[in-house]
Amino acid sequence: MKTRAAVAHKAGAPLSIETVDLEGPRQGEVLVEIKATGICHTDAYTLSGADPEGLFPAILGHEGAGIVVEVGPGVTSLKRGDHVIPLYTPECRQCEYCLSQKTNLCQAIRATQGQGLMPDGTSRFSLGGSRVLHYMGTSTFANLTVVPEIALAKIREDAPFDKVCYIGCGVTTGIGAVINTAKVEPGAKVVVFGLGGIGLNVVQGARMAGADMIVGVDINPARRALAERFGMTHFVNAKEAGADIVPHLVNLTKGGADYSFECIGNVDVMRQALECCHKGWGVSVIIGVAGAGQEIRTRPFQLVTGRVWKGTAFGGARGRTDVPKIVDWYMDGKIEIDPLITHTLKLEEINRGFDLMHEGKSIRSVVVY
């Protein structure tokens, strides 16, 4: 079959809108018609060439929502017509990682997923007879895509695709980092570095958790109003604070943050996020992904005196189990998504979405097919 897709032919080049060939689903796979997809910083990170796992040519995209068109042999949990969100972090419920209940990092298809391939080691996409790779097991920058059954969360049918697609990454990552990874408790003091698509959801999650003080740190003061709407209580302009930002935040929080979150992917900011935490119990969570070869550093004293450095992927969420619940939260008005969708684009305008991101003019651009 044929499908329209935005193809990344090489690092640093704009995406090319092409009609590609797509093979139907094989054993344990599902054909999904993507109705909407968000444009995430992770897509831009891979496209930039900084991603050590970035492979080309590929069809990027990992923040989508759509409808099941066809199921392959052996698929039991989904049927034609089901509404789904693709999961770049699957949940097989059978591997050591899933069964441990200690992590959401299912390893069932990790090896082939990292190679841009389906679990059987092949690709379903091709262009002019040449293979085109999958991306993060999802490839939502294609109107039709094939996804493993274990990498699809079935959701309610009344949820709008152009909003809940954002739950496929940004919303779940931000809110989940607060609830699942940090386990922020009522009354906590929280500092959030970076008030973009992830950071605003961290703010929202901290508000849900009952944090008393939510400090947002950003270089763009234009983000302040929206962050306050989502629950931010204090704003710090990182440019104005400069090298004094850590003592400033420690003073502002009267001893340091109980929890801090780095949502940028900057290793220097990761250090600031740790060092602004409270001695004895402060926890700093790294969400942002840094470039290949970059390393984090701090003085051992910071950790010896009780601060904890943690990382999180997909907010610690178990996709098939937790994503439908987060969709329910949105539909029940417990969380907001609509104000974060700042631009709605056609597939042909997808490169503009990346431009808006880089220019700091969007929180999340969504492509609607």
Catalytic residue numbers, as ranges: 40-42, 62-63, 92, 95, 98, 106, 110, 169, 364
How far is residue 143's CA from residue 347's CA, in Å, rounded to a whole number?
9
- Whether the CA torsion 248, 220, 298, 257 is positive or negative: it is positive
Q: Is the peptide bond before 119 cis (omega within 30 degrees of 0)?
A: no
- 3-class secondary structure, 60: coil
CB neighbourhood size of 157 (10 A): 9
Q: Which residue has the tokens 């929202």?
A: 204
Do 182 and 311 touch, CB atoms closer than 8 A? no
How far is residue 128's CA from residue 20's CA, in Å, rounded to a whole number?
8
Q: At what angle do helices 41-48 and 350-358 cross, to 10 degrees?
A: 90
Q: What is the DSSP string of 311-368?
A: E-SGGG--HHHHHHHHHHHHHTTSS--GGGEEEEE-GGGHHHHHHHHHTT--SEEEEE
190 to 4, 12, 266, 273: CA distances (angstroms): 43, 36, 19, 11
Q: What is the DSSP string of 216-236?
A: EEES-GGGHHHHHHHT--EEE
Q: What is the DSSP letter of 165?
A: G
Element (H, E) at 153: strand 152-155
Q: What is the DSSP letter of 139?
A: -
Beta bridge partners of 5: 18, 142
